[in-house]
Homo-oligomer: A and B are copies of this chain.
Amino acid sequence: MRILSDTGVVFEDPRAVDLLRAAGARVEGGSQRVRLDPGLVLEKAALAPREFELVARTPERSVRVGGEHLVFAPTGGPAFVSDLEGGRRAGTLEDLHRLIRLSEAVPVIHHGAPEVVPTDRPLPSRHLDILLAQIRLSSRGLIGDTWGAARARDHLEMTAILFGGRDALSGKAALLGFVNSNSPLRYDRHMTEGLLEYATYGQPLIITPFIMAGATSPVTLAAAAAQQNAETLAGIVLAQIVRPGAPVLYGGFLTGMDMRTGAPAFGRPEAALGILAAAQMARRYGLPCRGAGLLTNSKVPDAQAGCEKANMLWPLLLAGVHYVPHAAGWLDSGLVASFEQFVIDADLLEMAGRFLAGIRVDEESLALEIIERVGPGGQFLAQPHTQRHMRTELLHPALSDTSAYESWARDGSNDSCARAGRRWRQILETYRQPPLDPAIDAALEEFVERRSRELQRFTGS
């Protein structure tokens, strides 16, 4: 609160500054720096819903955000893809489509579709290709572009077409946007525009600073968490001014800087503590919380990736966050979407679900009669009780190998990355494209074609 009140936050957008000033923020002269008093911050933050539904066009894919719910979404944003056969390479539209199909076929992915930049498509209209692919190939709720007003409006328009018009969309949280502040304490023009557009439409926003302790915030974690809190709340206040009750998530993405490389260090204790701090602060304001993701610096699905991802997952489970983007597929600090890593991560997410289910304790599960019947020195495998509960009590992750060394060696001594290379292709074969009303499909196609022509003409590409 002292950071917001004394230091303030810069919004590089005159509309945002005017809106904040009109709501009671202090702004000196023609400055873009906005200072917010605690009363204003708390009043506006309290307008945000504690829980809301992220609506998907396929109703059974709608998910709750907040409360006791935990939503996993796949990785988004990489410019590169990788798989064992093809190596690391720039993403294409075909890669994007394959990743979305893979994700659609993985039940533990609850919301969104993976995004990789289709670098073989014209730059000005790529965002249209991306959302069209999401809508056509995935049944899950949508994730939209927020970079500047134009892209945001295009995505909001497409979502309106999908849901039967702008009115039909009203009151529905159907297109989730990610807004990131430019830490320290600054929202650039593009992000602010995106925030304003989504909030105006009543569409949900995850508002996340990029805190790298030691570079974009002080190195001490208490300061990093405080600054993250100030930046997130500033964005949330703006969204609530634009539209009281707009669905928002408190976003955390705190890392420490690796001194040796200057890079953000994922999967480390500082990031784990940052997740706990963010979720605690979000609870303080009654806001649903976005947890960082299954993030790693590793270039390949190796032991480092495995440790770092589990080191992110566990604090996410402990913290009680509500939405986890980048939960599958992320590699190389977010530059790469990996097909192998995607299915490795999916197994880890399945394990999280079994862990959270806990230990059921009742007469049937205590099974004292069975213990008495089998007695000292016996074995339980042949007991009907074992057969009855084996498949529900124990999880059998597809990729985890427990075979004897000799049989593993006979099968080719495949490490988990090699096994994942077979596994994602098997999963991809189970993909079924979700049905879409042909009239809506045609309207979307028409919109995308028209806008693509306009945008490519406008930018001369």
A residues neighboring B (CB under 8 Å): 2-3, 6-10, 33, 88, 182, 184-186, 213-223, 225-227, 256-261, 263-265, 267-270, 272-273, 277, 297-311, 314, 318, 332-333, 335-336, 341, 344, 347-348, 351-352, 354-355, 357-362, 364-368, 370-372, 374-381, 383, 385-386, 389-391, 393-397, 399-405, 408-409, 413, 415-417, 420
Contact = CB atoms under 8 A, between A and B. Distances in A.
A347 to B, nearest CB: 8
Contacts of A227: 371
B416 A304 contact: yes
Contacts of A182: 377
Contacts of A370: 218, 223
B368 A265 contact: no
Cβ-closest 7 pairs across A and B: A306-B306, A310-B310, A302-B415, A304-B416, A269-B355, A269-B354, A185-B376
Contacts of A257: 381, 394
Contact of A344 (B223, B303, B420): B303
17 contacts: A6-B368, A8-B376, A184-B378, A185-B377, A186-B376, A257-B381, A257-B394, A259-B390, A263-B402, A265-B394, A270-B394, A300-B415, A302-B306, A303-B341, A304-B400, A306-B306, A306-B307
A423 to B, nearest CB: 12
B307 A355 contact: no
A418 to B, nearest CB: 9
B304 A305 contact: no
Given A33-B376, A311-B351, A377-B10, A389 B219 contact: yes
A359 B222 contact: yes
Contacts of A221: 359-360, 365, 393
B355 A272 contact: yes
A214 B359 contact: no
A190 to B, nearest CB: 15
B379 A216 contact: yes
Contacts of A220: 360, 364-367, 385, 389, 393
A213 to B, nearest CB: 7
A370 to B, nearest CB: 5
A398 B309 CA distance: 18
A217 B375 CA distance: 10
A386 B216 CA distance: 11
